[in-house]
Amino acid sequence: MSAVQTETKYRICPICEATCGLEIDVKGREIGAIRGYKDDVFSEGFICPKGVSLRELDTDPDRLRVPLVRRGGELQEASWEEAYAEITKRIRPIIEQHGRDAVGVFIGNPTAHKVALGLYLPVFRKAVASRNMYSASTLDQMPKQVAVSLMYGDALSVPVPDLDRADLHVVMGANPIESNGSMWTVPNFRGRVKKMQQRGGRLVVIDPRKTRTAKLADDYLPIKPGTDAYFLAALVNTMFAEGIVDLGAAAPLYEGLDGLEAHVADYTPEAVTALTGIDAEAIRQLARDLVNANGGGIYGRIGTTLQEFGTITSWLIEVVNILSGNLDVPGGMMFPKAIALQRNASGKVGPGMRLGRYQSRVRGADEVMGDLPAICLAEEIETPGDGQIRALFTIAGNPVLSAPDGNRLGRAMDSLDFMVSVDIYLSETSRHADVVLPGTSPFEECQFDIGFNQLSVRNAARFSPTMFPPKPLAEGGRPQEWQVMLQLANIVAGRDEPIEQTDDNIIRNHIMAQVGRPGGLIEGRDPEQIWQELDPFTGPERQIDLAIRTGPYGDGFGANPDGLTLQKLIDDPRGVDLGALEPRLEEIAGRMPGGLIDLAPTEIIGDMPRMADRLNRDEDKFLMVGRRNVRTNNSWLHNLPLLAKGPNKCTLQINTGDAAALGIVDGGMAKVSGDGRDLEVQAEVTDEIMPGVVSIPHGFGHDMQGTNWGVASAQPGVNSNHIANNDAIDPLSGTAVLNGIPVDVTAA
């Protein structure tokens, strides 16, 4: 009979941006049932199958638990000391002989979800000090971040739908019923939409596929992939033509309205109908509805960013929302104010972005926000010369599946002098490494959302302490991931100091920054006293405590006694609700040069001539788009039985008419070719995709040699990015074009 009692623990789900609160039965080190936590102030009990599957993630026998070091060509288990020693031995000579740019880094999506990585990656990046920084951002949301930076001064100044008070919600190129939202933290999207509809509000979905979100909609407009910019330009054109532009009370905060009309003059609703596939009158009606809405706006996501005109489209979405009077009003598109680490709430003055401060070596692509485009990674490894990448770190990333032409990237990885991956699986990418350092289970780290609190449908905050702290390294245990990042930082920087000391130095610098911040909550205070008050927190907790206490709701270490501290969040797992979103436009505009928001940033206007070209382009190919399923998360949850079960998720969706014309049958095989490569994939014949469009989800193709996917390899699917063109790019954001890929389709 066991004396170990079942306890209930609470924590924030780290998988997707909805950040649901979970209620978890725990017995010793064992996870029992996982449920949605009803009393969570933010997610109110919402959960999806991925949250439930965290138990299987924790126990997955294929998840890496010890470091691997390549010896005699084989990855073999090693101690942490051996792995760190191997990295030191191999990386230092490369840096000493070839300089810092010889080290490349690829940073993947989970680094935005795990606070241990989010807080300590910047330390590692700074230590590497190479221009060869790459991330999943240029395979994802970078266009939106470029657009909002140029307009609102910061890459996370992203207005999000205030859905709970909206009466017209337009979803463009997103499928939140499956994805649970992105660049917008919104648990229970369905429930919130239903409530809006009960209030008399309307949901409009614009997507080439009739998605589950589209099925919930009052209006569904199928659009040809990659043509959203034309559709949006026609909305703007209509608003000017009909004289219904309405900037509202915020009008004095904008500049650039005068020139705008001329930039969209060619894009009348009639002029874009053939290209977009959307009827001119539907465009006019939506323009009027947006102006007349009592709070609403267009929300655009991966279908609008990961495409040919990503930055222009993201900018036009903002323009439409502004011209229709929907920015910064209740029910419209609003700027959240997070509890901690929100740059646009800290008084720092913008503008947020200078593009192209340097260029990539081989093709001369512009740097964006300190990254070079992910599509440049392979050529920067392959091409000899000064500045060639000879060593690569991948941190929670799987670019062999997430980036175009992954087989080429994999071959390039094999040509490196040295490669390190920090990952929880032996994936299509980490299998190429010489040293693989295992990440932790989510239950072995604390959790707090830095970015997603800044993108939240309501202002709220929660914190989850570490549930199962690993035994310290000195006692035969393992480091947490923030400690791994610090150790790697010290190795590449050649710093011979214990990571505890590095961490102390980091927090001391943060304290100095806060006591020196004009107008800050602890301006002019004694740094030593603040240091002592942070005791006994260390690591991420200490950084979070300092950030909360000096943030917009913080206690200011006594300056504002009712304010928040990390301890208050620890004491109440339900979290704190900080209320509905509030108008912030004056504050946002005040950070811009001249105190004005530019409706027509020069850089983006300079990119618009590209749009004219496509109007005359001959398009005779199918256009391939991606999609998401609620039981997947990019490339790495396919190994959990709970999620992997059921029919093949990696199918080619093709319209019934197209399939009939090509002799492709439902369940049969099709051959899809793009950029000189092809793949064979099971067809799913359906009316829920537009004619001329096909869809394959990304993140599959788990049959490559050297991975360790016991479950996922049984239903491997295909890597859709194998046929994506590595040269197709949205130039301003350096983002790959992975929606609207031209392909040929035949029966196989």
Ligand X SMILES: Nc1nc2c(c(=O)[nH]1)N[C@H]1C(S)=C(S)[C@@H](COP(=O)(O)OP(=O)(O)OC[C@H]3O[C@@H](n4cnc5c(=O)[nH]c(N)nc54)[C@H](O)[C@@H]3O)O[C@H]1N2
Nearer to ligand SF4, 187 or 626 (CB): 187
Which amino acid is it at 469? P
Distance of CA 636 to the CA centre of its chain: 15
Q: Is residue 17 involved in binding Mo ion (CB under 5 A)? A: no
Cβ pair 585, 250 in contact under 8 A: yes
Q: Is residue 427 involved in binding ligand X (CB under 6 A)? A: yes
Distances (CA, A) of 732 to 72, 105, 246, 311, 318: 44, 21, 29, 7, 17
Neighbours of 500 (CB within 10 A): 12
Which amino acid is it at 506? I
CA distance 347 to 590: 10
Tell the smallest beta-carbon distance from residue 303 to ligand X (Å): 2
Per-residue x/- mask for ligand X, residues 218 to 237, rule CB under 6 A?
A: -----x-xx-x---------
Strand partners, 170: 204, 298
Q: Is residue 178 involved in binding Mo ion (CB under 5 A)? A: no
Give the pair of three-digit tokens for residue 254: 């904008």
Per-residue x/- mask for ligand X, residues 571 to 610, rule CB under 6 A?
A: ----------------------------------------
CA distance 587 to 345: 8
Applying CB under 6 A, among 24, 31, 41, 47 the residue interacting with ligand SF4 is 47
Cβ pair 233, 575 in contact under 8 A: no
Applying CB under 6 A, among 137, 180, 185, 421 the residue interacting with ligand SF4 is 180
Distances (CA, A) of 87 to 221, 399, 434, 472: 53, 21, 9, 21
Q: Is residue 140 involved in binding Mo ion (CB under 5 A)? A: yes
Stretch that binds ligand X, among 238-246, 250-258, 508-516, 626-634 (CB under 6 A): 626-634
Tell the smallest beta-carbon distance from residue 48 to ligand SF4 (Å): 3
Choosing among ligand X, ligand SF4, Mo ion, none, which partner's interface includes residue 305 (Cβ < 5 to 8 Å by kind)? none
Tell the smallest beta-carbon distance from residue 316 to ligand X (Å): 12
Neighbours of 556 (CB within 10 A): 18
Applying CB under 6 A, among 9, 15, 58, 422 the residue interacting with ligand SF4 is 15
Q: Is residue 397 involved in binding ligand X (CB under 6 A)? A: yes
- Asked whether the bond before 527 is cis by omega within 30 degrees of 0, the reply is no
Q: Is residue 690 involved in binding ligand SF4 (CB under 6 A)? A: no
CA distance 570 to 465: 7
Tell the smallest beta-carbon distance from residue 34 to ligand SF4 (Å): 9
Applying CB under 6 A, among 10, 11, 19, 123 the residue interacting with ligand SF4 is 19
Applying CB under 6 A, among 9, 10, 11, 18 the residue interacting with ligand SF4 is 18
Q: Is residue 371 involved in binding ligand X (CB under 6 A)? A: no
Stretch that binds ligand SF4, among 45-53, 89-97, 463-471, 595-603 (CB under 6 A): 45-53
Choosing among ligand X, Mo ion, ligand SF4, none, which partner's interface includes residue 18 (Cβ < 5 to 8 Å by kind)? ligand SF4
Strand partners, 735: 730
Nearer to Mo ion, 17 or 545 (CB): 17
Tell the smallest beta-carbon distance from residue 683 to Mo ion (Å): 26
Smallest CA-to-CA distance from 60 within 427, 477, 527 is with 427
Q: Which residue is nearest to ligand SF4 (CB)?
A: 51
Q: What are phi and psi of 545, to 5 degrees?
A: -60, -50
Applying CB under 6 A, among 20, 91, 392, 492 the residue interacting with ligand SF4 is 20
Q: Radius of gyration over alpha carbons of the chain, in Å?
A: 25
Smallest CA-to-CA distance from 15 within 449, 339, 428, 468 is with 449
CA distance 553 to 340: 8
Non-local CB neighbours of 609 within 8 Å, separated by 6+ positions: none
Tell the smallest beta-carbon distance from residue 46 to ligand SF4 (Å): 6
Applying CB under 6 A, among 132, 273, 635, 715 the residue interacting with ligand X is 635
Give the pair of three-digit tokens for residue 440: 């932790």
Token pair 């959302």 in the structure block, residue: 449
> For strand 622-625 and strand 693-695, is the pairing parallel, antiparallel, or unpaired?
parallel
Q: Is residue 16 involved in binding ligand SF4 (CB under 6 A)? A: yes
Give the pair of three-digit tokens for residue 346: 């800290």
Tell the smallest beta-carbon distance from residue 630 to ligand SF4 (Å): 8
Stretch that binds ligand SF4, among 16-24, 150-158, 405-413, 693-701 (CB under 6 A): 16-24
Choosing among ligand SF4, Mo ion, ligand X, none, which partner's interface includes residue 188 (Cβ < 5 to 8 Å by kind)? none
Choosing among Mo ion, ligand SF4, ligand X, none, which partner's interface includes residue 432 (Cβ < 5 to 8 Å by kind)? none
Tell the smallest beta-carbon distance from residue 27 to ligand SF4 (Å): 22
Choosing among ligand X, Mo ion, ligand SF4, none, which partner's interface includes residue 19 (Cβ < 5 to 8 Å by kind)? ligand SF4
Nearer to Mo ion, 147 or 233 (CB): 147
Cβ pair 485, 87 in contact under 8 A: no
202 — alpha (psi -120 to 50), left (phi > 0) or beta?
beta
Applying CB under 6 A, among 31, 48, 168, 392 the residue interacting with ligand SF4 is 48
Tell the smallest beta-carbon distance from residue 187 to ligand SF4 (Å): 6
Non-local CB neighbours of 666 within 8 Å, separated by 6+ positions: 659, 683, 684, 685
Question: In the 3-class helix/strand/coil scheme, how is 653-690 assigned residue by residue?
Answer: EEEHHHHHHHCCCCCCEEEEEECCEEEEEEEEEECCEC
Per-residue x/- mask for ligand X, residues 138 to 157, rule CB under 6 A?
A: -xx-----------------
Applying CB under 6 A, among 630, 642, 662, 748 the residue interacting with ligand X is 630
Give the pair of three-digit tokens for residue 294: 């009592």
Smallest CA-to-CA distance from 59 within 639, 652, 635, 481 is with 639
Under rule CB under 6 A, which residues in 70-109 are in contact with ligand X?
A: 108-109
Binding site for ligand SF4 (CB under 6 A): 13, 15-16, 18-20, 47-48, 50-51, 180, 187
Binding site for Mo ion (CB under 5 A): 140
Binding site for ligand X (CB under 6 A): 16, 108-110, 114, 136, 139-140, 172-176, 178-180, 182, 206-209, 211, 223, 225-226, 228, 301-304, 306-307, 396-399, 402, 422-425, 427, 439, 481, 625-630, 632-636, 698-699, 720-721, 738-740
